[in-house]
Structures are given as structure tokens and as C-alpha cells.
Amino acid sequence: MLVRIMVVLAAALALAAPAAAQTRLNVAIGADVNVVEVHKALLGPGFKAMEPAVDLNVVGTGTGEPASRAIYTKIKAQADTGRKPWDLDVALVSMTVASQMVKEGLLHRFVPQMKNAALVKGAEVKEAFGVNVDGYVVPMFHNQIAIAYHPSKVAAPPKTFDELAAWVKANPGRFGYNGIKGGVSGVGFTMGWVYWKTGLYQQLTQGPVDKGKDGAIREAITALRDFNKGAVITNGNAGTLDALNRGEIWMGVVWIDQLVAWKNEGRMDQAVTPSLPAPGLPIYPLYLVVPREAA
């Protein structure tokens, strides 16, 4: 999987880099520190080995949807003022922001020019939230969120959202996630809750949009607010893992890759175990994109 990511990333970055003695590419990452570090410590050096004449300037813009929104705001401002070229060459953004940028004509249709375009496939490369994104995006980091728990504290982890809600009510302050502003794992948990509470997964994910369902969604969010009274809203993805490791919480919503990385680095109790309650926890890929007026 990492080899595939490296090949696709190299192709995308190469398209953004003009021939020159030494080129600097500005890469904006709309994701948490774990994704930024992957680019700095693994993908960046790997690309440098392939393209010695290109230096990567990798910058993270925060966590969650606001991180991608910050990238959109910067690109949109440069487009509105007529600036050329723009000072971002490659970006990693959410599906929501990427679809908006395609709709507004802010992205370069770079995928057909890639040598490895055949590797870019799947339903998510064709359409995103009703927008035709074919040729504009490369999905990256198909990761999974899960609920990690301490077996010594939680003998029988909840197998369903019903069981989870009951457990949190019985154990206030022992379940944590980062809400809808602290990272995409929190967004994924929130949407999983909405799909469970409304029973409208198929319609809400595949459409068409039906305003008549807004009431059901609001009811689900209201129920989540009540649930949150017994939960801990953590300070980002790393904050959830840190609280788990210190035993401040006994269960929390985490990224699988980040949990494994922390274990491998000796930063996480090896006993902490992930589980996936039914009907599941949804997540969408981050998209690699090239701004229309990249240098």
C-alpha cells in the first residue's frame, strides 16, 4: 500500500514541478500531525530520492475539516485577486472541500497526465458529494477509525451503538472522542451516530438530498448532545490517544494507523485494543489535488 501511495504521490508532485535546476514545491496537508509526519518522514524523502532536483516544503494546516477549509480559503483568495501563480502546488484536502474546489474551477485536472493513472480507481474518484471529480483527485490514506479500549477496564467492549450509549451512561467521563472540530475521527463518529439513529445510511450517503429528513437528523444530533454529557471531548486525535494511555478514559475513538504507530513507538499501552461497533464507523479518504494555477 505504501509503495502504491509513493508512486501516485510522486506522479502528482512531478506534474506540479516544472523543469528547473532546483524546484521547491509547497505541499499543504489538511490533516492531523500523523499525516503530516508521514509526508515529512516517509513520502517526502521517498519522493526526493526519485526527484533529487525537487525540494518539498510540507506544511500542516490543522486538524479536521477546518484544516482543509483553510487550504480552500487560501486558494480561493488568490483566485479572486487574480494572482498567478498560486503559492500552493499540491494539497491534501477532505472530500467535501475537494468537491467544492472542483465545482468552482479551482483545481487542475492532473490525473489523466499521470503515468500511473490506472492506479486511480474506485467510486470515490468519479463522484464526491454529487460533484463529478473524475481526473481531479487521487484518494489517499484509506484509513479506518475504531473505538480503542483498555481490556483491564472494559471486559466486554460495546458491540453496537446501543450498547455504547448504555456503557457511557453507566461510566460517565470514561469515553472520549474529539468532537466535530478536533479531527476527522470525531466527524466519522458523529456521522456513524447519525446513520445509526436515523437508519438513513443509504439515503444520506447516496442521495438524493431530501430536506424532509432534516428533522430526523436534528433529533439524532440532539441525542448526541445528551450522549456527550457523559463523554470527554478530547484535544484532537493525539489527545484521545494520550488520554487512553494515561488511563483518563477507558475507551476512545482513534485512527487505527495512529494507534499502531504509537504502540510501535512505545508511546501507547500495548494492551489497548481497537473494536468496531455495529453498524460501523464511516470515514472518507483525503484527496490529493493540484491547484489550477500551481507554480
> What does the pLDDT look like over 78-130, one tens digit per residue?
999 999 999 999 999 998 899 999 999 999 999 999 988 988 888 888 988 88
* Residue 295 within a domain: no
Residues 118 and 167 grouped into a single domain: no
64-81 vs 95-103: helix crossing angle, rounded to 10: 20
Long-range contact pairs involving 213-218 (C-beta distance under 8 Å, separation at least 24): none
What integer pLDDT is reported at residue 4 of this predicted model? 45
Residues 178 and 51 grouped into a single domain: no
At residue 62, φ and ψ (nearest 5 deg) are 125, -155
What integer pLDDT is reported at residue 201 of this predicted model? 87
Least confident of 149-163, 177-191, 239-253: 177-191
CATH, residue 113: 3.40.190.10
Residues 128 and 176 grouped into a single domain: no
* Residue 280 within a domain: no
Residues 31 and 133 grouped into a single domain: yes
Quick: pLDDT tens for 248-291. 999 999 999 889 989 999 999 999 999 999 988 988 788 999 99
Residues 171 and 187 grouped into a single domain: yes
Looking at residues 55-70, what average pLDDT do you find? Answer: 89
* Residue 6 within a domain: yes
Q: How many Cβ atoms sit within 10 Å of the Cβ of residue 260? A: 13
Residues 216 and 233 grouped into a single domain: yes
At residue 131, φ and ψ (nearest 5 deg) are -105, 135
Domain that holds residue 97: 2-142+285-289
Please identify which residue in the block is written with the cell numbers 494539497: 91
Residues 269 and 152 grouped into a single domain: yes
What integer pLDDT is reported at residue 14 of this predicted model? 58
Question: Total structural domains in the chain?
Answer: 2
Quick: pLDDT tens for 119-160. 888 888 898 888 899 999 999 867 789 999 999 999 999 999
Query: Beta strand 251-255 with 175-177: parallel, antiparallel or unpaired?
Result: parallel
Residues of the chain with pLDDT > 70, as a percent, come to: 92
Residue 2 has pLDDT above 70, yes or no: no
End-to-end CA distance of the chain: 29
* Residue 294 within a domain: no
